[in-house]
Amino acid sequence: MDKAFETVWADCLEIIKDIVEWQHFKTWFEPIKPVELKGKVLTIQVPSQFFYEYLEEHYVALLAKTLKRELGKEARLEYRIMVDSGNSRNKPLTMDVPAHGYKSFTNNEMDFPLIINNPVKNPFVIPGLKKMQIDPQLNAAYTFDSFIEGDCNRVSRRAGKTVAEKPGGTSFNPLVIYGGVGLGKTHLAQAIGNDVKRLHPNKVVLYVSSEKFINQFIDHSRNNAINDFIHFYQLIDVLIIDDIQFFNRAEKSQDAFFSIFNHLHQSGKQLVLTSDKSPKDLEGVQERLLSRFRWGLSADLQAPDYDTKMEILDTKMKSDGFAVPREVVKYIAYNINSNVRELEGALISLLAQSSLNKREIDLELAKKVLRNFVKSSSKEITIDAIQKMVCEYFGVPYDKLLQKTRKREIVQARQITMYLSKAFTKNSLKTIGEHFGGRDHTTVIHSCQTVKDLMDTDTLFKESVLELQQKVQLAAM
- Residues 207 and 174 reside in one and the same domain: yes
pLDDT in tens, 303-354: 888 788 888 887 877 777 777 888 888 888 877 776 777 777 778 887 787 7
Question: Is the domain of 14 the same as that of 35?
Answer: yes
Is 126 part of any domain?
no
Instruction: Identify whether 377 is part of a domain.
Output: no
Domain range enclosing 35:
5-106
Mean pLDDT, residues 78-96 taken together: 58
| Claim to verify: residue 205 and residue 150 sit in the same structural domain | yes
CATH code: domain of residue 45: 3.30.300.180
Pairing of strands 175-179, 297-301: parallel
Q: What does each C-alpha distance from 122 to 105, 110, 119, 280 come to in angstroms?
A: 16, 13, 9, 36
Averaged pLDDT, 368-396: 76
Whether 154 is covered by a domain: the verdict is yes
| CB contact burial 146-168 (16+ within 10 A = b; e otherwise) | ebbebebbeebbebbbbbbeebb
Select from 271, 301, 331 the last residue of a domain: 301
Residues 11 and 68 in one domain: yes
My answer on whether 259 and 150 are in the same domain is yes
The per-residue pLDDT for 376 is: 45
Pairing outcome for strands 93-98 and 175-179: unpaired
Query: Do 339 and 212 lie in a common domain?
Result: no
Q: Which amino acid is at 316?
A: K
- Is the model's pLDDT at 130 over the cut of 70? no
Q: Is the pLDDT of residue 87 over 60?
A: no
Instruction: Give a yes or no: residue 90 inside a domain.
Output: yes
Q: How confident is the model at residue 476 (pLDDT cuts 50, 70, 90)?
A: low
Is the residue at 378 inside a domain?
no
Q: Would you state the pLDDT for residue 477?
A: 57
Instruction: Rounding to the nearest 10 degrees, give the CA dihedral for residues 313, 18, 253, 168.
Output: -20
Average pLDDT on 133-149 reads 85
Structure confidence at residue 128 (pLDDT): 43
Query: Where residue 447 sits, what CATH number does that domain have?
Result: 1.10.1750.10
What CATH number did the domain enclosing 258 receive? 3.40.50.300
Question: What does the alpha-carbon distance between residue 112 and residue 105 come to, in Å, rounded to a whole number?
Answer: 11
247 plus 338 within the same structural domain: no
Average pLDDT over the chain, rounded to whole? Answer: 80
Q: Give the β-pairing of 76-83 and 93-98.
A: antiparallel
Cβ–Cβ < 8 Å for 436, 414: yes
Same domain? 469 vs 333? no
Once rounded to an integer, what is the mean pLDDT over residues 210-228?
86
Cβ–Cβ < 8 Å for 206, 136:
yes
At residue 448, φ and ψ (nearest 5 deg) are: -60, -40
Helix axes 459-476, 441-457, angle to 10 degrees: 120
292 and 186 both lie in a single domain: yes
251 and 348, same structural domain?
A: no
Task: Decide if pLDDT at 163 tops 90.
Answer: yes
The pLDDT, as a whole number, for residue 442 is 87
* Least confident among 48-62, 100-114, 129-143, 342-356: 100-114
pLDDT at 374 exceeding the cut of 60: no
Residue 191 pLDDT exceeds 50: yes
Q: Which of 282, 301, 320 is the last residue of a domain?
A: 301
- Is residue 198 domain-shared with residue 237, that is, in the same domain? yes
For the chain, what percent of residues have pLDDT higher than 70? 86
Last residue of a domain, one of 372, 402, 429: 372
Residue 208 in this model has a pLDDT that exceeds 70: yes
Which pLDDT value is given to residue 466?
85
Do the domain assignments include residue 209? Answer: yes
User: Residue 336 belongs to a domain with what CATH number?
Assistant: 1.10.8.60
Classify burial at 72, counting beta carbons within 10 Å of its beta carbon; exposed 0-12, middle 13-18, buried 19 or more. Answer: exposed
Assign 116 a pLDDT band (cuts: 50, 70, 90).
very low
234 within a domain of the structure (yes/no): yes
Whether the model clears a pTM of 0.85, i.e. scores above it, the answer is no
- Same domain for 340 and 271? no
- In total, how many domains does the chain have? 4
If pLDDT is split at 50, 70 and 90, which confidence band does 126 have? very low
Residue 15: what pLDDT? 87
Judge whether residue 118 has pLDDT over 70.
no
Position 337 in a domain? yes
